[in-house]
Amino acid sequence: MQASLSHDRLRALIDAGRMLTSELSLDAVLHRLTEVAAELTGARYAALGVIDSKGAGLDRFVTHGLDERTEAAIGERPQGRGILGLLIREATPIRLHDLTRDPRSVGLPPGHPPMHSFLGVPIMLRGAAYGNLYLTEKEDGEDFTAEDEELITLLAAQAAIAIDLSERVARDSLRRVVAAQEVERRRLARELHDETGQALTSILLGLRSLEEFVDDESERAAVAHIRQLTVETLQDVRRLAVELRPKALDDFGLIAALERLTAGFGEQTGLAVDFVAGFGDTEIPGEVATALYRIVQEGLTNVVKHAAATRVSVLVTRKNGGVVLVIEDDGRGFDPEEAPGDGFGLQGMRERVDLLGGTLRVESREGAGTTIAVEVPS
């Protein structure tokens, strides 16, 4: 690489970095980054590939320079093979005179515009590869230079700061939303339990007294029917209050709340439920306890809706100073890569785990059940 950039390009780089760090939306940062990279190097096309959680392919692919018709003609976005895969594996800059002639290239799909000169630069975030910038077709048919590589490497370092900032903002916003939801759940649960529950109980007492003063059998039967409906409604209200925010979670902690949750789940569904806890509740922070409870709640719901299982087990234990949660069923299983919608609620689980700085792993295959393993610091 060259020792230094020209004054004009250095000024442009500084301005670009300032612009990127002013963006708070991750989508805005990624799109603006591809535009800036193309402008700084004179590239006709630019793209940014975000590496997936397994570190083997691309989770997102943002482009610049392609119109909608061309995008439609290309079809499926790159998955991270060929030169793009090389950048994922090695995370070092690559400059090529002709992308199509490199033996490591897998070629371009039908409908893709011609691309020859190429510059790829990794974006490193907290010591790991977050994604890669791809630039092709430098203006006037020239090759990308060492100065271009230096410029985009510095831009990628600035972009990492902007990406980290936008992700922090997104996490903080999500954390506030989740916290507000729990506050509202707690309020609604209290109102249902105290106000609605007490009102229904008063109605029951009144109906019982009314039965004593009714002589006609048909009228007595009607009152009894209304009283039975009121009893069922009261039970539903209490069940809903527990689902919204179980008092056991606030009063006695995670383990007691999970014991009641799993026991109630078994009674309602007829499934065999095994719950094993390897510790008490005293050292589990409230935020962690709430997140783990919600994950188990969602996991059990998924078992009923999708798994066609006969048995489910829930394990909570300590490991390396954190908490490990494992939910396992013997149901039909599924392909995690092809899960419909938000992946059987997995997205919500991942968001809760990410907020705690933990990890979530899903192991499943068709006909072999599903295991969800969560590990969070506490």
Distance from C-alpha of 91 to C-alpha of 85, rounded to nearest angstrom: 10
Distance from C-alpha of 198 to C-alpha of 205, rounded to nearest angstrom: 11
Fold classification of 248-378 is: Heat Shock Protein 90 (3.30.565)
Domains of the chain: which residue ranges? 7-169, 248-378
- Picking from 62, 85, 42, 67, the residue whose alpha carbon sits closest to that of residue 159 is 62
Q: What pTM was estimated for this model as a whole?
A: 0.66
Mean pLDDT in residue range 320-349: 79
CATH no. of 7-169: 3.30.450.40
- The two counts, helices (H) then strands (E), for the chain are 11, 10
* Angle in degrees, 0-180, between the axes of helices 346-355 and 146-190, rounded to the nearest 10: 100
- What is the residue whose two structure tokens read 């902690």? 253
Structure tokens at 341: 């919608």
| pLDDT tens digit sequence for 94-142 | 999 998 888 888 888 787 888 899 999 999 988 888 999 999 999 888 9
Query: Cβ distance 258 to 300 under 8 Å?
Result: no
Which pLDDT score, from 0 to 100, does residue 81 have?
A: 84
Torsion of CA 153, 158, 161, 164, to 10 degrees: -60
Burial of residue 252, with CB atoms counted within 10 A of its CB: 0-12 exposed, 13-18 middle, 19 or more buried: middle
Strand 128-138, strand 43-51: pairing? antiparallel
Percentage of the residues of the chain whose pLDDT score is greater than 90: 30
CA distances from 365 to 55, 180, 187, 311, 337 (A): 21, 36, 40, 17, 10
Mean pLDDT in residue range 59-68: 88
Strand order in the sheet with 118-125: 58-64, 43-51, 128-138, 118-125, 94-96
- What is the residue whose two structure tokens read 């780089």? 13
Mean pLDDT in residue range 139-161: 91
Structure tokens at 241: 């209050």
Distance from C-alpha of 259 to C-alpha of 248, rounded to nearest angstrom: 10
Give the ranges where the chain is alpha helix by DSSP (H): 7-22, 26-41, 68-74, 82-90, 146-190, 197-213, 217-244, 247-251, 254-269, 286-302, 346-355
Residue 341 reports pLDDT greater than 50: no
The more confidently predicted of residues 4 and 245 is: 245
The more confidently predicted of residues 272 and 283 is: 272
Which pLDDT score, from 0 to 100, does residue 281 have?
A: 58
Distance from C-alpha of 274 to C-alpha of 43, rounded to nearest angstrom: 59
| Band of residue 12 on the pLDDT scale cut at 50, 70, 90 | confident
